[in-house]
Amino acid sequence: MRMLKLAALFLACAITQSCAVPFYWQAAAGQLELIRKRTPIERVLADPNQDEQVKVTLGRVPEIRRFAVEELYLPSSKSYTTYVELGRPYVVWNVIATEEFSVNPKRWCYPFTGCVAYRGFFKLETAERFRASLERKGLDTYLAGAAAYSTLGYFADPVLSTMLAGGEQYVASILFHELAHQVVYIKDDSALSEAFATAVEEYGTERWLARHADAEALERYRRKIRYRLEFSALVSRQQDRLRAIFAEDLPPEEMRALKARAYEQMREEYAALKAAWGGATDYDRWFEQPLNNAALASIATYRRWLPTLKARLEELGPRAFYAEMTELAEMSDISRQLVLESWQNELGERRVADTT
């Protein structure tokens, strides 16, 4: 039945002028490959020829799923009861793009999921060709591999080999994140949907580690989250800096020079931040690449509303938070924005009060 739904989706897109038929064909083929290769986890664990480290990490998945359902109140679906060995480092590669003088990502629209700030491909070479086509049009682009993605409950998503390299904690984080998408997903609002799932991911991972890991592992994770928060603030400051530059009525050559200087300043700020971290190298690889507006958008999409939503989750607990987010998802764009800004302001006022 699910395969028929996917075929119907592709057929509907193929006869719609706004759909890119090759893109939907590769998406359908990639999803069907995952469906075809799924193997029940218990069968993988019983296979004497299976890699032992794969079996150790996969063996924790049933307990992670139970924790997700019983402690985080996430869906008790058939997702993550099967395993797929992909033989590649990522399941999909996402392309993000912006105009040369804008920090706002280009959006692509799809049936069911609405408009999102990226386009995903199951083959790296296809993603690279698409990226090159956007660059020829003068856009800033960014290409990033993803270890997992959610079908929002339309399919029973498997555990992928691409998820296992990070170990048990990484698998738990991904499961919490992707199952959260099955609870609340806001069409046409990537920033809010991803912030919601990331808030659940971080909230759940910290509690999983508190229950199942030692104090050192928990402290490492909390430090990682603090670094991530400070890095995200750095990205946000850079976007604000660029918005101010792009708002000026300047010749393109002057705009490019100011843009380049802004990225030099960002690198200098990262060097200072890294020193404050005692030399931690968490984001060195990100800064080693050529930086542009699309690279910023790849971070901002996940982080814009995260501190606000995580604070709400901590305050309300999962059930009440999910109910509140469900109501939020049903509001108009303007009403939703006003509510989010009010929560953000409340959080800021509380933090100011806590420091005085």
pLDDT digits (tens, 9 = 90+) for 232-271: 999 999 999 999 999 999 999 999 999 999 999 999 999 9
Q: Which domain holds residue 22?
A: 2-188
Largest CA distance in the chain: 67
Residue 247 inside a domain? The answer is: no
Question: Into how many domains does the chain fold?
Answer: 1
Looking at residue 17, its pLDDT comes to: 38
Residue 64 inside a domain? The answer is: yes
Local confidence pLDDT in tens for the 356 residues of the chain: 333 334 444 434 443 434 466 777 788 888 889 999 999 999 999 999 999 999 999 999 999 999 999 999 999 989 999 999 999 999 999 999 999 999 999 998 877 677 888 999 999 999 999 999 999 999 999 999 999 988 888 889 999 999 998 899 999 999 999 999 999 998 888 889 999 999 999 999 999 999 999 999 999 999 999 999 999 999 999 999 999 999 999 999 999 999 999 999 999 999 999 999 999 999 999 999 999 999 999 998 778 889 999 999 999 999 999 999 999 999 999 999 999 999 988 887 887 777 66
pLDDT tens, position by position, 61-82: 999 999 999 999 999 989 999 9
The answer to whether 263 and 283 are in contact (CB under 8 A) is: no
Residue 216 inside a domain? The answer is: no
Residue 77 inside a domain? The answer is: yes
Residue 98 inside a domain? The answer is: yes
Residue 333 inside a domain? The answer is: no
Residue 12 inside a domain? The answer is: yes
328-336, long-range: CB within 8 Å, 24+ apart, which pairs?
328/186, 328/192, 329/184, 329/185, 329/186, 333/188, 333/189, 336/186, 336/189, 336/192
CA distances 254 to 204, 245, 249, 251, Å, are 47, 10, 10, 5
Residue 173 inside a domain? The answer is: yes
